[in-house]
Amino acid sequence: MSANAQAPTRKADPAAAAVDKTPDVHAFLNEVAQRNPGEPEFLQAVHEVAQDVLPFIADKPEYRDMRVLERMAEPDRIISFRVAWQDDQGKVQINRGYRVQNNNAIGPYKGGLRFHPSVNQGILKFLAFEQTFKNSLTGLPMGGGKGGADFDPKGRSEAEIMRFCQAFMSELVNHIGPDCDVPAGDIGVGGREIGFLFGQYKRLSHQFQGVLTGKGTSFGGSLMRPEATGYGTVYMMQNLLQHAGEDIAGKTCVVSGSGNVATFCVQKLTELGGKVVTLSDSGGYIHDAQGISAEKLHWVMELKNKHRGRIEAYASEFGCDFHAGERPWHVPCDLAFPCATQNELNEVDAAALARNNCRAVSEGANMPTTPGAMQVLTDAGIAVAPAKAANAGGVATSGLEMSQNSQRYAWTREEIDSKLQTIMAGIHEQCLAYGEHNQGVNYGRGANIAGFVKVADAMLAQGVL
Ligand code: NDP
Ligand code: 2IT
């Protein structure tokens, strides 16, 4: 496998995550590492936040003494359960399902469900922790949660997917509700799965409620929810560039992934005059130097959503290169959008982006950049809009879906898009408020501190819980 090979979820280095020069950060992370053995992604996510938040609260005893960050890094509860179901051959299959309810200080738990063979408790804890800060940044009243199962939807029939979703919801139904915990989609969970999950919840609870977001528009789903994460990632980049007096038009863009986030990211970039030259999946990436036009993107969406095909097919359909087992970061670009999965952009990739004079990165996926890669990008002066800010448009629009469900009303596409743009601009402002310094903007620090403050203040007001 070359240095640029596409490993399945690469493991973060827990030792690296536990080393930091600030004594406070070091002690804090040691304690977290001891309490959460074998969960490198969770440690990585906590480290990223702690390195910004601990210095910020160093002179704020109200947060320190009440051990607010320590409490945020300990989920309110974790539910884990057996999901037994029968495949098309009648064979009994057993998976493990989870819901991590991280923090509900500012609203009901809210966050996606991931169906992927790599799912484990540590990965969902990292995602639920991140979600707590992300949801805070949206300005909407949503706490943080995440769930899923180690189920692999690849190669499964529609009937098998439905039976799995029904079995999964048969237990999850006991732990969620419109004012308690509202799941949505993530990797491997899109509109089709949300439909099956919603149907089973309704059957078991005898209630038609806004208990999931990302629903079909005929049964309470919000317009623009499918587009929202990818569009939001681009709106974040637009804000970042505008702050520096630049624009997306004319920029060459590299995008990874070819699922929900990636495809709508490409759609908005193209609409704004950007030229997107790559897409990928776990098999490798395509490089289309001509650019992925609206027509070609439509073909990709059909390939992925209808035929459940592989991105390799794009290369033969449109006559371009396919790089098996590799990721797209070595293709020269002005802007990069990692939109597949965690730790998909490493130090070697970051060095390639720097060498090719990449200007900025907007993270559509959750924690796609390794800590080492983040350092390389920062040293090279490449601005990085971190996931908890850049991909918050998805959950923000989920929040808007909850509002519409509560009102029993539906806003127009234009109304939602305008609210989404306002929310993304607001997140950019919050990043500036805490992240702007003499040399520029540290978006990561800005997002971490702004996300922390709102949740922390709510926790202080609510007592020791
Ligand atoms: P999808 O399932 O629609 O697409 C995922 C894409 O990423 C596919 O192309 C998939 O390829 C690829 N991928 C997944 N896992 C791996 C892996 N281990 N190695 C290489 N490629 C991989 O998911 P989404 O687009 O919804 O999610 C993508 C990212 O965005 C995730 O990090 C998710 O947490 C994040 N996100 C999603 C939001 C949403 O609203 N959906 C909101 C905010 C963040 P293949 O098909 O070959 O597996
Ligand atoms: O990571 C995420 O923010 C999501 N998968 C979307 C969560 C949501 O509740 O819409």
What is the reported pLDDT for 5?
40
Question: Which of ligand 1's atoms lies nearest the C-alpha of 118?
Answer: 18
Examine the domain organization and report whether 294 and 167 are in the same domain. Answer: no
In whole angstroms, what is the distance from residue 191 CA to residue 213 CA? 9
Q: Tell me which ligand sits closest to the C-alpha of residue 11.
A: 1
Whether 268 is catalytic? no
Give the model's pLDDT for residue 14.
44
Examine the domain organization and report whether 86 and 198 are in the same domain. Answer: yes
Domains: count for the chain: 3
Select which of 110, 125, 134, 146 is catalytic: 146
Per-residue pLDDT tens over the stretch 241-299? 999 999 999 999 999 999 999 999 999 999 999 999 999 999 999 999 999 999 999 99
Q: Which residues contact 142 (CB under 8 A, 6 or more apart)?
A: 106, 107, 108, 110, 135, 182, 395, 398, 399, 402
Does the residue 465 lie in any domain?
no
Within 306-346, residue ranges assigned H as helices are 312-318
Pocket of ligand 1 (CB under 6 A): 6, 8-9, 185-188, 190, 229, 257-262, 281-283, 339-341, 364-366, 391, 394
**95: three-class secondary structure by DSSP:** strand
Per-residue confidence (pLDDT) for residue 439, from 0 to 100:
84
Distance from Cα 193 to the centre of ligand 2, integer Å = 14
User: What is the predicted pLDDT for the residue at 7?
Assistant: 38
CB atoms within 10 A of CB 241: 20
Question: Do residues 204 and 284 both lie within one domain?
Answer: no
Residue 111 Cα to ligand 2 middle (Å): 5
Q: Looking at the domain assignment, is residue 344 inside a domain?
A: yes
Q: What is the pTM of this model?
A: 0.95
Residue 446 resides in a domain: no
Q: Which residues on adjacent β-strands are paired with residue 147?
A: 99, 113
Confidence at residue 22, expressed as pLDDT on a 0 to 100 scale: 62
C-alpha 131 – ligand 2 centre gap (Å)? 8
Looking up residue 137, the CATH number of its domain turns out to be 3.40.50.10860
Nearest residue (by CA) to ligand 1, atom 21, is: 282
- 345 in a structural domain: yes
Written as one string, the DSSP assignment of 150-170 is S---TT--HHHHHHHHHHHHH
| Identity of residue 17 | A
Could you tell me the sign of the dihedral formed by the alpha carbons of 398, 300, 240, 378, in that order? positive
Rounded to whole angstroms, how far apart are CA atoms 245 and 79? 47
- DSSP assignment of 216-280, as one string? -GGGTPPTTHHHHHHHHHHHHHHHHHHHTT--STT-EEEE---SHHHHHHHHHHHHTT-EE-EEE
Residue 396: nearest ligand to its CA? 2
Q: For 15, phi and psi rounded to 5 degrees?
A: -65, -45
Q: How many residues does the chain have?
A: 465
Residues of the chain with pLDDT under 50: 1-20
- Do 49 and 112 lie in one domain? The reply is no
Same domain, 161 and 245: no
Specify the pLDDT at position 21. 52
463 is a domain residue: no
pLDDT (0 to 100) of residue 13: 41
C-alpha dist (Å) from residue 207 to 108, 218, 234, 358? 18, 17, 37, 50
Q: Are residues 180 and 112 in the same domain?
A: yes
Which ligand is nearest to the Cα of residue 146, counting in written order? 2
| Cα–Cα distance measured from residue 410 to residue 52, given in angstroms and rounded to the nearest whole number | 39
Task: Give me the long-range contacts of 440-444 (CB less than 8 A, separation at least 24).
Answer: 440/381, 440/383, 441/240, 441/243, 441/383, 442/378, 443/240, 443/383, 443/384, 443/385, 443/386, 443/389, 444/48, 444/52, 444/374, 444/384, 444/386
Q: Are 57 and 89 contained in the same domain?
A: no
Q: Write out the residue range of the structural domain in which residue 149 sits.
A: 77-209
Residues 363 and 232 placed together within one structural domain of the fold: yes
The reply to whether ligand 2 has any atom less than 6 angstroms from the CB of 260 is no
Residue 341: inside a domain = yes
Cα(262) to centroid of ligand 1, in Å?
Answer: 8
Same-domain pairing of 67 and 84: no
Atom of ligand 1 nearest to the CA of 304: 46
Of 356, 372, 390, the domain-final residue: 390
Check whether residue 181 and residue 245 sit in a common domain: no
Final residue of a domain: which of 363, 390, 417? 390
In this structure, are 197 and 322 located in the same domain? no
CB 422 within 8 A of CB 22: no
Q: Which atom of ligand 1 is least distant from the CA of 261? A: 25
Q: What is the CATH number of the domain that holds 250?
A: 3.40.50.720
Least Cα distance to 454 among 132, 162, 100, 228 occurs for: 132
Q: Among residues 390, 408, 426, which one ends one of the domains?
A: 390
CB–CB of 362/390 below 8 Å? yes
Question: Which atom of ligand 2 approaches the CA of 395 most closely?
Answer: 10
Tell me the best of 215, 266, 281, 337 to mutate to test the pocket of ligand 1, counting ligand atoms within 8 Å of each CB and taking the most. Answer: 281
Please give the pLDDT value at position 300: 98
2, part of any domain = no
Q: Which residues of 41-60 are buried (b: 16+ CB within 10 A; e: fewer)?
A: bbbbbbbbbbbbbbebbeee
pLDDT score recorded for residue 258 = 98
Give the Cα-Cα-Cα angle 428, 433, 436 (nearest 5 degrees). 90
Q: How far is the CA of 207 from the centre of ligand 1 (A)?
A: 31
Structural domain includes residue 220:
no
Atom of ligand 2 nearest to the CA of 127: 1
Q: How far apart are CA 36 and CA 34, in angstroms?
A: 6
Same domain, residue pair 133 and 246: no
